[in-house]
Structure 1
Amino acid sequence: MAVLLKRLTLQTSIGRCFRKPIVKPDPAQLSLAASTTKLVHLTFAKGFSTAGDAHSEKRQKRKDAFTNTGRKISERIIRVLDEKGSDLGLMHRADVIRLMDKQDLRLVQRNTSSEPPEYQLMTGAQIHQERLKLREQEKATPKAGPAVTKELMFSSNIGQHDLDTKSKQIQQWIEKKYHVQVTIKKGKNADQPGNEPDEIFNQILQTMPGIATFSSRPKAIKGGTASTCAFRPLSKKEEKAYRDSQEAERRHTLSKDNRNTESEVLCH
């Protein structure tokens, strides 16, 4: 009997040693854990919203591009042009879709600001050509921004060979649509004929007919010890005026030569 009691006592002690204590959680810890869970969910929702905005922007860009509208016409009544540009008048979108299927044409939005909006029926080849035209126009359109100015300085004692080299450099910059600021310092023998800065400036300009002109006229600086001026490319209007004047001069010369030839024939 005594042995049995000892065994029961030993088992009870061992059970107490291995039993896990039940600890009540701290209310402050529970509140912190709940807040952390909410923050995780909020962060995820914000990220998802940003992705949605990016997709929306891409869809807007595709809508604004010159693309085939397809059968998804959002407006009920639209104005339609045929593939030759003739006005077909106002049409219901269902009638437009039937016409597209019948003639195997695509639909392109032409004027979004008009009411109702204006669309045109076009072939795939026409759409391709229009895209090529738009790309060429974008390439031909000059980028807005301030003109880049290059600077060049040399002495009025410069030799003819070196001056020709400087003139070619200026012309290359002008052809790239740069402005060129040139400063000429008077040399030791500046009093000799042929070394006047104004003459050098004009000589440089004469090497670029129909390409450049003065953006600022030659003027003395630094108490008369140097002169400066700026060259710029001709504008489109100035280029056209120059070509027209050259063509008029050529015709005048040709007409004068013809009159001289006729006079010689009559004299003989």
Structure 2
Amino acid sequence: MAALFLNRLTLQTIKTESNCIRRCFGKHIVQKSAPAQLFPTASAPRLFFLIHTKAFSTVQDIQDERKKKKKDGTTFSNTGRKISERIIHVLDEKGNDLGNMHRADVIRLMDERDLRLVQRNPSAEPPEYQLMTGVQIHEERLRLREREKARPKTGPTLTKELIFSSNIGQHDLDTKSKQIRQWIEKKYKVQITIKKGKNADEPENKMEEIFNQILQAMPGMATFSSKPQPIRGGKALMCVLRPLTTKEENEYTETQETQKKDTLNKGNGNDKESNVVQL
């Protein structure tokens, strides 16, 4: 009986040791084979390269947009000696047409006269360039900058507001008229409200006269966007002035020139009549 118990204990011990050895080796095999499972993740760097390629294409798009701006002539700069075209059409610094020239001849001419080369019309065939001095390039940049500032800005027109009483003195009215003129020059609309004064002896049309006086202080610049109309139960008048459009400015200029010519013609006619009478 004791021998049978001892035999079972020996078998149980061997079985337990075998399980322990299997577990240890199994863990070791899993640890060794773990790096092999990392191979599927090796595609991660490929994702990085895809992102990098997309970023590069975005930069390329920006470069293409800059090239388009240069071709559209929005920039004005010295081309230097890097002329991409083999044959170009050239104007000299005085605007004289030199005809089509090879780029090597143009570079030689630049060196001889100490001139710079500026692209004028890239869409022409062949492209048109002009030789200019450094001073001419500087002056042209200033002119383009001033033209860009004078160009009306896109977007909603801003409105300035001004309120004062009809009892305003002439000096203060001149000051406010000057301020309104400056706003009109900047292409603002100006809303003017004149409150009726407390003076009982004030003429009924005094507020309208003030509006007309303000408008006459800036001839050929502004007109009524909305004419004076009573507000606050007739205790005030309000109007809106706006800058003249380009068409209206041209029409005003033509009218003024016509009136000057008529005045001169009448003056010359009177002189002729007086000469005839004296004879």
State the secondary structure of the residue aligned to 2:28: coil
Q: Which residue is equivalent to 1:121? A: 131
Equivalent in the alignment of 2:58: 50
Matched, 1:75 2:82: no
**1:140 CA displacement:** 3.4
Q: List per-residue Cα deviations over 1:95-123 (Å, max 9, x = no partner).
A: 32333333333222111122111112223
Matches within 5 A, 1:98-117: 98-117=108-127
1:151 to 122, 136, 161: 161
Give the unaligned 5+ runs of structure 2.
1-20, 272-279
Alpha-carbon contact 1:105-1:123 (below 8 Å) kept: yes
Q: Does 1:37 align with 2:70?
A: no
Report the CA distance shift for 1:106/1:152 in structure 2 as closer, same or farther (over 3 A). closer
Match of 1:169 in 2: 176
Who is 1:194 aligned against? 203
Q: Assess if the C-alpha contact under 8 Å between 2:88 and 2:100 holds in 1.
A: yes
Structure 1 spans left out of the alignment, 5+ residues: 1-15, 260-268
Alignment of 1:60-99 (within 5 A): 64=73, 65-99=75-109
CA contact (8 A) 2:183 2:190 kept: no
Match for 1:107: what amino acid?
Answer: L
Paired position in structure 1 for 2:226:
216
Following superposition, the deviation at residue 22 of structure 1 comes to 2.6
Q: Deviations over 1:139-161 (max 9, x none)?
A: 33343444322234566xx4243
TM-score of the aligned structures, taking structure 2 as reference length: 0.62
Q: List aligned pairs for 1:219-230, cutoff 5 A.
A: 219-220=229-230, 227-230=237-240
Q: CA deviation digits over 1:171-197, x for unaligned, max 9?
A: 40332223222345667888x650334
Q: Are the equivalent residues in 1 in contact too, given 2:183–2:189 (CA < 8 A)?
A: no
Alignment-derived partner of residue 25 in structure 1: 34
Residues 175 and 245 from structure 1, CA distance in 2 versus in 1: closer, same or farther, beyond 3 angstroms? farther
Do the aligned partners of 2:79 and 2:118 also contact (CA within 8 Å) in 1? yes
Distance 2:138 2:213 in 1: 49
State the AA in 1 paired with 2:122.
Answer: T
Question: Against the structure 1 CA distance between its residues 245 and 175, is the aligned structure 2 distance closer, same or farther, given a 3 Å change threshold?
Answer: farther
TM-score normalised according to structure 1 size: 0.64
Secondary structure of the 1:194 match is coil
Distance 1:85 1:29, change over 3 A: same
Counterpart secondary structure, 2:203: coil
- Any conservation in 1 of the 2:78–2:118 contact (CA below 8 Å)? yes
**Among candidates 104, 129, 132, match of residue 142 of structure 2:** 132
CA offset at residue 69 of structure 1?
1.9
CA distance in 2, matches of 1:83, 1:68: 13
Q: How many residues align?
A: 236
